[in-house]
Structure 1
Amino acid sequence: MKMNMKKIVALALVMIVAFTFGACGGADTNKDADQKPVYKVAMEPTFPPFDTTDKQTGELTGFDVDMMEAIAEDQGFELKWENMSFDGLIPALQAGNIDIIASGMNASDDRREQVDFSDTYYDSGLVVAVKKGNTTITSLGAITADMKVGGQIGTTGADLCQKLQTEGKVKEAKIYNGLDVAVMDLQNGTIDALINDLPVTKAYIDAQPGTIQIVGDVLNAEAYGIAVKKGNQELLDKINAGMKNIKDSGKFDELYAKWFE
């Protein structure tokens, strides 16, 4: 009888321990050891200086990374960064696979119908880039119907390229998953012009001087924002509060100077 009771007690202890560990394993995966919320944030890293990859470490870096990390520190949460194609960002957010998009994304009216945006943090615009020394294309209007233009998938630059093709104003609109490949094709003559955001195009020119050049005027105004899933007001409020605080403290200007000056 005593042995049976010991077995029962031992079995009960095993069940308690198993339940305890099982409960720990099923704990909120959005919290780290310090019980800080952890949010998945994604970017497409061929959009410098906003989104790029550190050549030495292979880790995601750029203005968006530094800005979001500063916001996270201010608001007491952690970030888990993921690399995605640009056209996959919004679908991933809508599906709940990620919590935040921080990828130099234009907070356009069309996108606002799909996701919620933070207060915008950078004003930009589109420009036309050509191979260095090209004197034929001097502006958007100088692009002719026998030419090929390129843009990055999911961007307003790509939208404009496709519009030009639909209207018969270019021979082909070539849309790229990564902007780095588009710049290479511009350099080797696969496309005649590249339509892309001004600061990113400048970053490529600074990194590879003497290869491509900007022609004409800035085409249209854009404003970048951080995106969250529709209705996620709690997270949006955290991001906006953190952004305001890092701007008030001077941290935002410090990061801006690091990446743009």
Structure 2
Amino acid sequence: MKKFVSLLLALLMIASLAACGKKANDDKKSSDSKTLVMGTSADYAPFEFMYKGEDGTMQYGGIDVSVGQYIADSMGKELKVENMSFDYLLPSLVKGDFDIVIAAMEADGDRLKSADFSDPYYTDLPPAILVKASDAASYKTLADFAGKSVAAQTGTTKLDIVNDQLTGANAVPLALVTDMVNELVNGKVDAIVVDGAVAKQYAETNKDLVIADASSELGAAQPYCVAVAKGDPKGLLPAINAAIAKMNEENKLESFISAADALKDVWQEVTPENPS
């Protein structure tokens, strides 16, 4: 009986060691993968968008896509971009669908509960309020939005701005920025709140939209960071931060911004696929 018990214990130990070895190998395999999967929401030009390339296929472009490519290149990996509505990005990161998320995302308190973040890689223009040009004279201060319908993207700090700073406004959460703009153009909402560069892009490409004077009261922008799963299980942050430091030393953001601006006439509205 003792021999049997000893044999059983030995077999269990071997199985345990094999399992540990397999887990270590699996972890090593995930961290050594030659592909870096980036989650984003490609409805947010100039940071992330899609456009038709010279070969006729749809391609990803934008400041954040260039940042992701730079990070992947510095790590010796191939970048794969996955498109999803903004409010699904972090839950999908937690599930392991992506290695990183780059989507003009600030590292705010709630997000820090489910993800870890890199050093900042870019600070945008201050947030802005887009309104119809014909109504611009009505929105000189934030108080002028009381009783008005103001849209902002679900799960973003811009929705917090509507709720916290536009006293008396009726917040309208929408998943896609393209939907927000269409609602504004069609008169279904009175205004939308977006990041500064995004507001500027839409105001420059649509003569019926302008940035409201009241935008100056919204305060400064918060820097954008790269998100990884909580605890950085794949050990990506050191390499990401090293790439960001080098990228900033080389002033690469200037060329990334220029490349995105060069495509502003061809970027297209797309609807991201959401998890079922």
The TM tier, using the shorter chain, reads 0.7 to 0.9
The alignment partner of 2:155 has SS state of coil
Does the aligned pair in 1 maintain the 2:142–2:217 contact within 8 Å? no
TM-score of the pair, normalised by structure 2: 0.75
Does the aligned pair in 2 maintain the 1:115–1:227 contact within 8 Å? yes
Name the CA distance, whole Å, in 2 between partners of 1:253 and 1:30: 33
> What amino acid does structure 2 have at the position aligned with 1:77?
K
- Structure 1 residue 192 and structure 2 residue 190: aligned? yes
Does the aligned pair in 1 maintain the 2:153–2:176 contact within 8 Å? yes
Give the number of equivalent residue pairs.
227
Name the CA distance, whole Å, in 2 between partners of 1:228 and 1:200: 24
Question: After TM superposition, which residue ranges in structure 1, 4 or more long, deviate above 6 angstroms?
Answer: none
- 1:20-59 → structure 2 map (5 Å cutoff): 37-56=34-53, 57-59=57-59
2:179 alignment counterpart: 181
Specify which structure has the higher proportion of strand: 1
The alignment partner of 1:122 has SS state of coil
Residues 123-181 of structure 1: CA distance to partner in whole angstroms, max 9, x if unpaired?
23321111012121223221122x2110111111122334479x6x12x3211111011
TM-score of the pair, normalised by structure 1: 0.79
Task: Report percent identity of matched pairs.
Answer: 30
Residues 65-99 of structure 1: CA distance to partner in whole angstroms, max 9, x if unpaired?
11110121122122211011100001011111211
2:210 alignment counterpart: 213
Alpha carbons of 1:75 and 1:212: their partners in 2 closer, same or farther (altered >3 Å)?
Answer: same
2:258 alignment counterpart: 257
Shift of 1:50: 0.4
Unaligned runs of 5+ in 1: 1-25
Unaligned runs of 5+ in 2: 1-25, 263-276
Structure with larger RCO (C-alpha < 8 A, sep 6+) = 2
2:22 alignment counterpart: none
Name the CA distance, whole Å, in 2 between partners of 1:139 and 1:260: 30
1:138 alignment counterpart: 140
The alignment partner of 1:151 has SS state of strand
Residues 185-230 of structure 1: CA distance to partner in whole angstroms, max 9, x if unpaired?
111110011111111111112222x121111205133111110011
Alpha carbons of 1:260 and 1:60: their partners in 2 closer, same or farther (altered >3 Å)?
Answer: closer
1:228 alignment counterpart: 228
> What amino acid does structure 2 have at the position aligned with 1:98?
F
Alpha carbons of 1:235 and 1:226: their partners in 2 closer, same or farther (altered >3 Å)?
Answer: same
> What amino acid does structure 1 have at the position aligned with 2:149?
K
Q: Please provide the CA RMSD for this pair.
A: 2.4
The alignment partner of 2:116 has SS state of strand
2:71 alignment counterpart: 71
